[in-house]
Amino acid sequence: MGIPFFPGEMGAWTSDMLIAQITDIHLGFEPDNPAEFNRKRLDRVLRTFEEMERRPDLIIASGDLVDRGDVDSYRRLRIALDGCQIPVFPCLGNHDARASFRRIFPDFEMPDGFLQYGLDAGPLRILVLDTLEEGRHGGGYCPARARWLKERIADEPERPTVLVLHHPPVETGIGWMTSLPDEHWIVRLRDALSGAHNIVGMLCGHIHRQMTTIWEGRVLTVCASSAPQVALDLSTIDADRPDNRAMIVADPPAFALHLWTGDRLVSHFDVAEDHVTLARYDVRMQPLVATLMAEGRGD
């Protein structure tokens, strides 16, 4: 489909692969600050990926790439990604704007005007969906987008497929950051996926918190944000009565790593900060490692 690999080069595929996910970057929250907080947080995450012993094969950026949908923020995002040696593939969220995005990233095809595309990732197929409904905080999915998805599913109905979309189509328990199961866009997405048995995972953002659930029999994971995160509070919230609860917290910038093992997607979550190391794999730990691995082989 002519999807560009940028800025890194795609390596040779193996039977397993490692997908990194970043989300809710919100670049341009401080539009007049070239060294803004969110840019520094993004840089920390990208640097973490590049310093890994096993680098991810690709990076999915699952929406809210910028904060205000302006061209200048997308330009700064492109500059931030230009130094990355791992290919990055974007998805749009509710803070994004298609026209501004396309001015800076013109190589992406946008069928019917939406940023939806398929990625041939060796052992996997990745379908990036566009749930942006401009002017709305929550998701959207119109008949044209749903038709595109049904056609792509029908193209390769048996191939293991990962779906990427910004908005998780589920209730989250966080009342001001949730969707309801009978929303029109969720019903339309559900219908588009009816009968699809090859979806091995759904990767989302938007909530600014790590979350895992099952939706329509499919594993759905939400990656926490690289920008500041939403406070975990599952108590009822009243839209008419502010109660001084915490809403946004400055937890470290987060990311996810999704390992395709050949038959399933295994998701791990971490933050881009230095960890306090309590043990290392040295000669003292070698007997334990050898024993555990032997047990795993059934020795």
* In the predicted structure, residue 234 carries a pLDDT above the cut 90: yes
Report d(CA 85, CA 210) in Å as an integer. Answer: 26
Domain assignment present for residue 279? The answer is yes
65 confidence band (pLDDT: 50, 70, 90):
very high
- One-letter amino acid of 285: M
12 — pLDDT class (breaks 50, 70, 90): low
Q: Quote the CA–CA distance of 228 and 249 in Å, as a whole number.
A: 6
> Whole-angstrom Cα distance, residue 166 to residue 91?
7
Total length of the chain: 299
Does 1 reside within a domain? no
Tell me: pLDDT of 18 over 70: yes
What pLDDT is stored for residue 36 in this prediction? 93
Q: Taking residues 72-96, report their average pLDDT.
A: 95
Instruction: Examine the pLDDT at 4 and tell me if it is beyond 50.
Output: no
Q: CA 254 to CA 40: how far, in whole Å?
A: 13
How many domains does the chain fold into?
A: 1
Express as a percent the part of the chain with pLDDT over 90.
Answer: 89
Mean pLDDT on 34-49: 94
Q: What is the pLDDT of residue 31?
A: 87
Give the CATH number for residue 227: 3.60.21.10
Strands 199-204 and 161-164: parallel
In a domain, 223, yes or no: yes
Q: Report the pLDDT averaged over residues 234-238.
A: 95
pLDDT of residue 123: 87
Mean pLDDT, range 61-67, rounded to an integer: 97
Residue pair 25/42 in contact (Cβ under 8 Å)? The answer is: yes
Interatomic CA distance for residues 106 and 119, integer angstroms: 17
Question: At what angle are helices 71-82 and 37-51 packed, to 10 degrees?
Answer: 30
Residues 6+ apart with CB under 8 A from 286: none
pLDDT, tens digit (0-9, with 9 covering 90-100), for 271-293: 999 999 999 999 999 999 999 99
Nearest to 48 by CA among 253, 215, 221, 259: 253
In DSSP notation, the chain reads --PPPBSS------SSEEEEEE----BTSSTT-TT-HHHHHHHHHHHHHHHSSS--SEEEEES--BSS--HHHHHHHHHHHHT-SS-EEEE--TT--HHHHHHH-TTS--GGGS--EEEEETTEEEEE-----TT-SS----HHHHHHHHHHHHHSTTS-EEEE-SS-SS--S-TTS---TT-HHHHHHHHHTTT---EEEEEE-SSSS-EEEEETTEEEEEPPPSS-EE----S---TTS------EE-PPPEEEEEEE-SS-EEEEEEESSPPPP---SSTTTHHHHHHHHHHHHT-
**What is the residue range of 258's domain?**
17-297
Nearest Cα to Cα of residue 145 among 167, 125, 123: 167
**2 assigned to some structural domain:** no
Residue type, 58: L
CA–CA separation, 163 and 152 (whole Å): 11
Res 13: pLDDT? 53
What is the distance between the alpha carbons of residues 61 and 294, in angstroms, rounded to a whole number? 38
The answer to whether residue 12 sits within a structural domain is no
Q: Which residue has the higher pLDDT, 283 or 12?
A: 283
pTM (predicted TM-score): 0.93
Q: Is 5 in contact with 82 (CB distance < 8 Å)?
A: no
Question: pLDDT (tens digit, 9 = 90+) per residue, 147-192?
Answer: 999 999 999 999 999 999 999 999 999 999 999 989 999 999 999 9
Q: What is the predicted pLDDT for the residue at 122? A: 84
Q: Predicted confidence band at 91 (pLDDT cuts at 50, 70, 90)?
A: very high
* pLDDT-based confidence at residue 16 (cuts at 50, 70, 90): confident
Give the pLDDT band of residue 11 (cuts 50, 70, 90): low
In a domain, 4, yes or no: no
